Amino acid sequence: EVQLMESGGGLEQPGGSLRLSCVASGFTFSEDPMNWVRQAPGKGLEWISNIRSGGDSKYYADSVKGRFTISRDNAKNSLYLQMDSLRAEDTAIYYCVRDVHFAFDLWGQGTMVTVSS
């Protein structure tokens, strides 16, 4: 079955760090660019980061640039998001998402991140 499964979410204090993981199965992970998209409670979707298939090129939304780092391990079919200097406004469900034809065709179930003291 083609799927993505995130983990690593939880409660963290402002200024803290969290590392999210996403494991892919059912497709050739190493061939596809991957993204993180988040959704704050009751709010809309926000694209936050993209990594190309080889892992050499990475791109970020202004809202997370300099604080978040995307990475991947193609040997482990895994995508990661290192989140540093967390803020209350980073509270959201974080989705691991594959993009094909510049559209987001496969989504994980999401992992909830709450930033609060």
Partner 1 sequence: QSALTQPRSVSGSPGQSVTISCTGTSSDVGDDNNHVSWYQQHPGKVPKVLIYDVIKRPSGVPDRFSGFKYDNTASLTISGLQAEDEADYYCCSYAGSFTWVFGGGTKLTVL
Phi first, then psi: what are they for 5, rounded to 5°? -135, 115
Q: Write each residue from 25 to 64 as x if it is in contact with partner 1 (CB under 8 A), else as -, in one continuous string.
A: --------x-x-x------xxxx--x-x----x-x-xxx-
What 3-state DSSP class applies to 81? Answer: strand
Figure out which of the listed residues 41, 66, 101, 117 binds partner 1, where binding follows CB under 8 A. Answer: 101
Smallest distance, partner 1 to C-beta of residue 52, A: 7
Does 111 contact partner 1 by CB under 8 A?
A: no
> Which tokens belong to 2?
């083609």
Calculate ∠ Cα 23-109-17, nearest 5°: 70
How many residues line the site for partner 1 (CB under 8 A)? 24
